Structure 1
Amino acid sequence: MSDKKPVESRLQSQVILVTGASSGIGKESVITLLARGHIVYGGARRLEAMEDIKALGARVLFMDMTREETLTEAVSTVLAEQGRIDALVNNAGYGSTGAIEDVPLSEASRQFSVNVFGLARLTQLVLPSMRLSGFGTIVNLSSVGGRIATPMSGWYNATKYSVEALSDALRHECRGFGIRVAIIEPGGIATGWTAQAEASVASVSGHTAYAPMAARLLRVFADYGPRLSRPSVIASLIVRAIEARRPRRRYVGGFGARGALLAVRLLPSFVLDWVIGWQFGR
């Protein structure tokens, strides 16, 4: 664990832990990393949904981001079997939608537990071994929604804004230990996220004072559906961040991502507010 090889040799075949590996971006990332010769552990709650990546050579672990004991056990297993963890991909997360007034605080708290506190605790668990070896990469999955907030997604946006802030602080804190931190900011990706968001906005705000805005969001989802990018687009960015000698601070990809972030950077706040208001109605 204390073996400090040159960075170039450490990048070639790494021990990588990927969360949320049972579907979507996480599963695609595991498949891509395996194909590139890395030793990959995939973690998720649904072990049966990871049988396919297990058949490809991945080691699968039961991980529930809201249960610390499962995170501790997963990290201990990897370290016991491999002696090190070179990269952590914090991909696990979800987004339920609805007006801020309508979403129960218990649900808001659960989103933070999964998207922020689970991510943070797992990061805490892998950092000591990375510091000891003098090498490591933390890849945190944020979202375009971590840079721009939109109606009906306020609680999800809040979790992803938090991921952005934690990642930036972590990058500064860990630079002197040889640990790199990269943020991935996906746009629209064809995963189960959209179906879950559609169901939650309909049930939470579909019959409240915010029903017209909820209906508009459902129309936006329907319009964007055919144009969503494949998970492989983001998986390729994750691979780039892990294998780069000097990874970028942020990687952006997926439907609508670059255009949205360009608008955030260039448009005055009042113009951006008008655009969002026009898109989602009032």
Structure 2
Amino acid sequence: MKVVLITGASSGIGFETAKLLAQKGYKVYGAARRVEAMKVLEKFGVTPIKLDVTNNDSIHNTIDTLIEKEHRIDVLINNAGYGSFGAIEDVEEEEAKRQFEVNLFAVAKLIKLVLPYMRQQRYGKIINISSMSGKIPAYLGGWYSATKYALEGFSGSLRLEVSDFGIDVVLIEPGSVKTDWAIISADNLERSARGGAYEVTATKIAQGLRKRYEKDMMSDPAVIAKYIVKSIESKKSKAHYLVGFAAKPLVFLHAVLPTKIFDVLLKKFS
């Protein structure tokens, strides 16, 4: 039975992935700050662990606990993520740094702790949940997009470094996903721009986010979970899984259109 650790398991993609993996017979440890939100996962066989990815002691304790119980770790899914939308000018420096701490440095810390065990067993899969915003710029989401672009480069380098040890690194790059994060992002975007130079644009984008959420113009988290499981179970996983609503067409257009034309389209339809 393969042992899996997934962060950000209290809701959304993480919750659905933990549930699906447990149903398929994996030994799953779901990690998040809100342990009470993972209680329902216990009936599927998931073991909840309290984890704050911004706290070094919490990160070390999580890995120590898992290794003490299982003596191995086969799959690490770095799903915990954080995005605070707003114009680059409007977002405070500390808020920008926090996004990098959660979306990149916490990922790196967890990976560095599990790699010795994966090397020893000559097997492991590291699944990093990125975003289509790591492939194309996010309008009024520059800091979030920057963290995901960084995660893409980090994961590519890591894949090269660990492949000789039987360890695979996979990037999941979802498009728009229907989670509470969409509404929270819309609220934060409006709040950050209130009374400033970007208020009109921010209001328009926030309204668009809410409209897409209400009209189901976003993928169900369970859809993304299926691709994560597919990447784990595949003997020859792809390096990138671009999945979910609008991801493939937008990334394709970004690749083939002149940059300034794509910019116009992105601004028009955001």
TM-score (norm 2): 0.97
The CA distance in 2 between the partners of 1:209 and 1:265, in whole Å, is 30
Whether the 8 Å contact between 2:186 and 2:210 is mirrored in structure 1 is: no
- Residue among 35, 48, 72 paired with 1:84: 72
Indicate the residue corresponding to 2:90 in structure 1: 102
Looking at structure 1, the residues matched to 269 and 222 of structure 2 have their Cα atoms a distance apart, in angstroms, of 28
1:248 has 2:238 as partner: yes
Partner residue in 2 for 1:69:
57
Q: For the Cα contact (< 8 Å) 1:42–1:60, is it kept in 2?
A: yes
Q: CA deviation at 1:193?
A: 1.3
For the residue of structure 2 that corresponds to 1:152, the secondary structure is: coil
What residue number does 2:168 align with? 180
- What is the identity, as a one-letter code, of the residue corresponding to 1:160? K
1:239 aligns with 2:233: no
Aligned to 2:104: 116
CA contact (8 A) 2:170 2:238 kept: yes
Distance in 2 of aligned mates of 1:129 and 1:45: 24
- Correspondence for 1:229: 219
TM-score by length of 1: 0.93
1:79 CA drift (Å): 0.8
* Aligned pairs (5 A) from 1:195-234: 195-225=183-213, 226=215, 227-234=217-224
* Paired residues, number: 268
SS in 2 for 1:103: coil
* SS of aligned partner of 1:137: strand
Quote the Cα distance in structure 2 between the aligned partners of 1:35 and 1:277: 42
Aligned partners of 2:236 and 2:148: how far apart in 1? 24
CA offset at residue 275 of structure 1? 1.3
CA distance in 2, matches of 1:24, 1:278: 28
| Aligned with residue 55 of structure 1, among 29, 34, 43 | 43
CA distance in 2, matches of 1:235, 1:168: 22
Shift of 1:220: 1.6
Give distance in 2, aligned partners of 1:178 and 1:192: 37
Among candidates 248, 251, 257, match of residue 267 of structure 1: 257
Say if 1:95 and 1:196, in contact at 8 Å, map to a contact too.
no
SS in structure 1 at match of 2:267: helix
Unaligned runs of 5+ in 2: none
The Cα offsets for residues 140-161 of structure 1, whole Å up to 9 and x where unpaired, read as 0000011111321000001111
Distance in 1, matches of 2:234 and 2:114, equals 20
- Unpaired runs of 5+ residues, structure 1, are 1-12
Paired with 1:207 and 1:242, the residues of 2 have a C-alpha distance of 47
Q: Return the match for 1:133 from 103, 113, 121.
A: 121
Q: Is the 8 A contact 2:5 2:28 kept in 1?
A: yes
**How many angstroms does 1:63 deviate by?**
0.5
Query: Quick check: 2:182–2:210 contact (8 Å CA) kept in 1?
Result: no
Q: Is the 8 A contact 2:81 2:102 kept in 1?
A: yes
**Mean Cα displacement is larger for which, 212-221 or 130-139?**
212-221
Match of 1:22 among 3, 6, 10: 10
Output the CA distance in 2 between the equivalents of 1:56 and 1:270. Answer: 49
Give SS of 1:81's match. helix
Identity among equivalent pairs (%): 40
CA displacement, residues 81-119 of structure 1 (integer Å, 9 cap, x when unaligned): 111000000000021111110100011011111111111
Match for residue 43 of structure 1?
31
Deviation at 1:43, TM superposition (A): 0.2
2:191 and 2:211 mapped to 1: Cα distance? 20
Q: Work out which of the residue numbers 243, 247, 250 in structure 2 matches 1:257.
A: 247
Alpha-carbon separation, structure 1, partners of 2:94 and 2:247: 30
> Offset of 1:279 from its aligned partner?
3.2
